[in-house]
Each structure stands twice: as C-alpha cells, then as structure tokens.
Amino acid sequence: MLLSDSILSRLQYQHQTIAELIDGLSADELKLQVNPGKWSAFENIVHLAAYQPTFITRIHKITKGDNPFFERYVAENDPLFYEYLKKNAVELLSIIENDRRDIVHFFSELNEDDFRKTAQHPKYGNLAMLQWLQFFLLHEAHHLWVILQLVYNPSAKTKK
C-alpha cells in the first residue's frame, strides 16, 4: 500500500471514534437538535454512513483514468441519507465499518499509477487519488468534531 502511516491509520481507525463519542447515549439524546435548524449528532452519523458509498463509487470512477467531474455531495439530495435516517446507531456503525473495510481494501490494491489518477472537484479543482482520500478523511474528522461538540454540550442535557 502506498499510503503514509498517518493516512493508513486514520483510514483504518478514525471512524471508530463515532462509537466512542456516543457510548452510553440514548437514541433521543443522539437525535436531539442542540442547535435548532442544524443536524443532530445522529444526523451527522447518518451523513457519514451515507457518504461512504458515494466515495466508493467516486474512487472507482477515478481509477478508470478519464478525470471525471464530481458535483458537490449534498446529503439532502441522496436517497440513501433518508433511508439511513430510519436506522439506529448500532446499524449505522455496522454499515460504516463494512464500507470502511471495502475502502481500505480498495486502497490496498492500488498501484502508483492509480494514485496519480485525478478527478475534478467543483471547489478544489483537479485532485489526485491521494488528495481525494485526504479530503474524505478530513471531512469525516470534521463531522467527528461536530458530533463531539453536540454530545458534550451541557445545554443538550437541559433541553430534554
């Protein structure tokens, strides 16, 4: 695998932080909208679960080598997002884990030429495969940070 230890470690384990952050919380606590009009912790988890299949599709298209253009992902436009809203946190964590195994396997099979292949992002322009992976991991990390802020927010306990 042509990935740094940092990237590989995050790819393999970063998503497991979700379970650590929400351990012991009820479904109601996870679904509480701490900030009205913004996603709950649960909706952030749903988003992470629903985005992984999109990412898998995109990285497969990148390996074809024709420099595809990908529109900005919008969860509210993804039918899978709404399907996953009907699931519970345990089911979502399992889905995330299974999809992540597929992503890790995919990247373990790539060669140097595959890593040089690119795709167009509407905001960031032409990104090589490794940059798409960094983008994926940092996007996930952002949502982990948001989840932490929501579940550790003292006002979340008083809004019940």
pLDDT tens string 72-116: 999 999 999 999 999 999 999 999 999 999 999 999 999 999 999
Within 10 angstroms of residue 127's Cβ, the number of other Cβ atoms is: 17
- pLDDT band of 124, cuts 50, 70, 90: very high
pTM metric for this prediction: 0.94
Percent with pLDDT over 90 in the chain: 93
Q: Is the pLDDT of residue 65 over 90?
A: no
User: What's the confidence (pLDDT) of residue 55?
Assistant: 98
Name the residue range of residue 50's domain: 5-158
Structural domain count of the chain: 1
Give me the CATH number covering residue 141. 1.20.120.450
Q: Average pLDDT of 30-49?
A: 96
Query: Could you tell me the two tokens for 75?
Result: 């969860």
